[in-house]
Structure 1
Amino acid sequence: MRFDLLGPFNVVHDGRPVVLRGATQRAVLAYLLLRHNEVIATSTLLQAIWADEIPNTARKMVQNAVSGLRSTLAQRTGDTEQAMLLTHAPGYLLRVDSDQVDVARFRKLATDGRAAQAGGDGERAVTAYREALALWRGPVLADLTETGVVWPELVALEDQRIAVHEDLFGLELDRGRHHEVLPDLRPLAEANPNRERLNAQLMTALYRCGRHVDALEVYRATRASLADGLGLEPGKELRELERAILQHDETLLTRRPEPAPRPEPAPAPAPVVAPLPFTPAPVIAMHRTEPVESERKPVVAIGVALAATPDDDPEEAVEIQARLRDVVEEEAAAAGAHLPGDSGPVVLALFGLPRTDDDDAVHATRTALRILDRLSSAGIASQVGVDSGDVLVEYTTAGPGQVAGPVLDRCVRSALRAPEGRVRVSDAVREAAEPTVVHEASEDSPGWWHAVSARQKPVAEPADPGGFVGREHDLDLLGHLLGFVERGGRPHRVTVLGEPGIGKTRLLAEFAEALAEHPRIRVVDARADVVEAFAVMPGLLPQTASRLRAEGGDAALRGAATELTAYGPLVVLADDLHRADPESRDAVDRLGEACAGLPVLIVASARPGLLDTGQGERCGTTVSLSSLSDDAVGKLLDKLLPGTARLIRGRRELIARIGGNPRFAHAYAQGAHGRTTPFTALGQSATPPLVRRTLAAQLDNLPPAEKSLLKAASLTGDAFTAEDVAAVCGRDTAEVEGALSRLASLAVLRREDDEAGYTFRRATLRELVYQRIPRATRTALSRRPAVRPGLVEALA
């Protein structure tokens, strides 16, 4: 039997195609063939086949597909090979001779070719490379990819195919066969403009064919592609090749300046975790594809390890480790975490990829507690570590790829040192998750904590010594809308939108406090569960509350609202609606219709992204809380730091860093007590962790194109124009101007004037954006004329 994956998926026996029943059978067999003779966990198989949403019947569908495949394979291969497809904890194992799979034959021929080339036998290497490429009949699994299948293994195979082409072209050019390779070389290079080796080969072939202008045009196209897509300049070898062509270097006619053949990339070894003071930070290597962008990112990492395996049984250890991995993968996927792969005996999950959330520490700690509970219930002894820090991420067309950073090493160590059955968290994670998670200090490790349990309700923030500043007009607006509801006798919905910390919760609290002076007005706090919030309201008849809990529909809500509005209007407050589950958000959305003809004012607060999700579309009035003015921030600081606020050196710099966000003012004020160093000299080190988390989330909520422009803008100086930014990133000036204008409307940038252009509204955001750029990219971009001299060194 022969299995062909390098093109449309075919299974052939005795020269005749084998018919597979259904798309699931084909997908299961194809994925197992890509990793044949390897145990594949069921959870991995499910994720591969249903990448977007795994149906409830997925496991049964896979079981049926496996059963059908066993029958088909047994009929075709005879009794001696009936056990080809085996159930093997934690999933399945497809045993097959590698010679039967074209992917395996391709890789073997590629390896043979490189071995022959390394030994100096160019003729044998060319033959092996051509045989390997002849196995390809089109894009790998072309028919399955048409149905939406996108597997990293397919991208990796395509990368290997191009690498073999490069090795073959290199040998042929060395043998002077530039005319012969040009028809195959040119279309492949044009389809892959970011592969410098391939385009260097095309430049060499064109130059040797006497087409010097065309060769230089290839260089310009490659340079433009690298600049637009990655913000990078071509590498040293490509630049030297261009220079040689411009100088008509005669050595190009005989020998091409090309690096040695690239060996097949070996899998990254798992890091060795040993009780040493320092170990190298592990690099989690994914299936390799061409990176399209690199970025420094803050993440929160969970590491989960087995605490012990009974009787030191290796088979039992493998099975238990697989069950542990399944639990971690399921909980991490449900929480939206990124799974970079295992690091030795520790299974890792990362929060903050591809997008940072200011609550990543909360989500990570809650997920770690759920994982520990599930493993304990299954009788699996485990230990968990949670830590935070920066990583360097290579993004590919398939998403986050290789991830590296010291935080991964610390997380591995933390998991291995955690007591059995405990979640060990760093102090930074504890500080960020404290309002929603109960912690206790670690007796044996100062500076570390144990997460004990998730709080039913977050700890309320302490009384605000700064008072209510700068939101009086917003509070008056809510009062006017309440009067409108009472006079008209009909419901109205108000949605208060704003960035984290801008004052949404405080505005609703002030509104509720003001209403407490009017006994006729009833206030429902519907922060968590709308139905339960109505059911526990004082004065509601017991039978009405029982019906509400039992039915929970619009009719039951209307009955409760009718009773509660018997003597005056009803105000429903739904704070932080973006955190609620979809059912709760939908209940708030339907509340207005359910209360038709009743004086009900619904006030919901959320972050701006709520409307982007389609929730909150039935808003009667939308109030967007803008940043506080500098004067209002100054007054707030005077209240937070009585008697000392005006004495702080760098006060104007501090107000600029706060950027009109009340929560930022509180965070900075807390750090300013007893400080003598001026804020102007502290820079990024003076930025509280809460501010960094919030701004990181705000940055990642921007569209990728606008986020990329901010990176370019961070290199241009304190003030910049669209022309400056366009010169750094190589994009159209009019397009850049439009994007910068949108960013100004979002209060990310501030428009100064036509000549000065724009500035970052918060200096801290500019520093954070700059820090996201990898050092190699900063160095490359610093050579561009629009980058202010010395800026890279100043911000580093």
Structure 2
Amino acid sequence: MQFRLLGPLEAVSDGRPVVLGGTKQRATLGYLLLHANRVVATSALLNALWETDDAPASARKILQNAVWGLRGTLFTDGCSPGSATLLTQAPGYMLRVAPHHVDLHLFHRQAEDGRAKLAAGAPEEAAALLRDALALWRGPALADLREAGIAWPELTAVQNSRLDAMEDYCEAELACGRHHAVLGDLEAMVENGPLRERTCGQLMLALYRCGRQADALNVYGRVRSALVEELGLEPGRDLRDLQQAILTQDRALALPGTTVRPRPLFADTRGERARDIVIRPASAPATEQPADGAPVAAPRAAGQRPGIVVTERKDLSVVILQTWLGVESRDAGPEDVDVMLDEAARTIREKVESFGGTIAASIGSVSLALFEADHDREDGAERAVRAALAIRDHFHDPAGPGARTPSGMQGPVAQAAVNTGTALVRSHPGDTTPPSVVGALLDACHALLSRVPAGAVRVCHVTRRATESAIVYGRAEDPSAGWQARGALREFAGHHLAPLVDRDYELEVLHGLLERTRHRSTPHLVTVLGEPRSGKSRLLMEFERRVTEAPGTAQFLVARALPFAEDSPLAVHADILSSYCGILPGDPPGEATAKLDRAVRRLTASEEEAGRLVSALTPLVAPDEDREADPAAVVDAWRRLLGEIARERPAVVVVDNAHRADDTLLDLVENLTETAGPVPLLVIAAARPDLLRRRAGWGGGKRHATTLTLDAVPDSADRLLTTLAGTYLAACP
């Protein structure tokens, strides 16, 4: 009697199938065959035939009838030598059968033999044995019982053993150079089991050897995404090493004596949709051609590791800047000009990097800067424009003499063009080599620069739309010359015109907390959380308007944290101090210091204490390049002065965009209510939920802390806000 489990359950006698009974009888036979030559307890059989709660009272009797039926149909010659026998043996039954009469056992034996040959370095023999083993399968193990709803753990183990054998077979075929033959099988296996890293690696290798290296890397991307999303795991070392080998076109991936000619990633793609992400191996210059025609990389310097080039299509803003040295350079020698250009380039690099950008190239008086727009730095366009404005202002003081044209300028001056869009960016992971960018975006930016006058910053339409909430723009005389960036805003004036939608409850909470703070002279921290465009800034503006309508109620000190070092790490402290003292952005240092001195002496009775505070706080309002301030002393003096301000009259300190603040500022804001003393001070931090990802315990455990979470503004209200804001900006000169 032959038994077949690898497919629908079959019993074959003398080459003819034996008719089996109903589902319970077939399931009994199948379960006993899975545990052939071992005693199976009656309780285990009952659990295999019925769910625990579904077993009828007569379950044991039904099982006994199934065993009796099997003996009458299949095991009538149990006394003959070598025949299968169904025995009753405590605590249940045992099906005694010769292993070679069960196809599952034959499969395991041949698969083991194939693996042994593969390990011994005989892939041809291994492939033949494994092919024969896999040929025993006629479908899923016990397919008919599966259709009846049976799902034993043993069946999962059997199916996994088939996948293991299939992987061994594909490995043997790949070792024999038959990657085309197994490509289809591997693709189907990966589709059905994307978490089996060995199968995915074999598919990557097969695709690479078929000249489809981009497809091979895409397979890695898919399996990595599946592992991270479903299990929170990164691919194993073997798969990561394979990816790196494909990236570097490691010759170890090719078969001995063969030449691998991968299909170029950047072939002619006219009429095709460009790939979103493309990863390309580095192409080093060839110094010689071996006999097989494969290029040999040029020798590298000692200690230089072979690099790779990662090419990605990215959303970014590019800035092209040109500096003009002025009339002084005409009388200078070449060496002096070189020094001046080097100093200008160094200044531009420092400014660009302080705004989170990267200098991709500097050629003479022209520099190219890149500002990416990724998940953490979604404000790439704003940072690009602010950097360009900062560089323009550095080379040309707006308060000084006006800039002249290149043919007659009187001093160093810069001009810049900013374009936002998508381009191909080539970077070098693990290397200090700066990235490079190619594409129509760069050409458009270069064309825009040719229309920018000296001392000006122009941006494209896309950049203007992305930054109109933070930058003041004016129309250029020539519509093709883009928009002229005039200066940066600390807040979006259009928000003042937008309606407040469904925020009455939040306003009441803020009013109640302010009243509590004023009545009890107890500082309180309020965190206002909300996604972009949820109306955080608009809510705080309305709160300020309603509070300040009643004279003497409270004073507001507002600052906005920027996502880059535009001024200094103490920029927010300086904004709040300047707001209280009435210091304007254009005030000369002497006037700013005088306003600070008057404000401090009005709050402080002690002449000695007032002198110490003014001395410590002066760097915030009138920085002295010749004297470096002590940040700790400045912050301590600022905190003490804030306490005095709140004692004079209840104060509301607002830090907008707190999620962009550095850790030092966040520490100060979070602890301000505990260090300010018994004063009526309400501290409001407006932030995106990103703040909680950075500071999971923000405000936790503090006695006087509240969090307000703003839901998204309804679509209709959002459209209205956008319309009104656009109307305001259109009216700006």
Instruction: State the TM-score, normalizing by the size of structure 2.
Output: 0.45
Structure having the higher Rg? 2
User: More helix by proportion, 1 or 2?
Assistant: 1
Instruction: State the TM-score, normalizing by the size of structure 1.
Output: 0.42
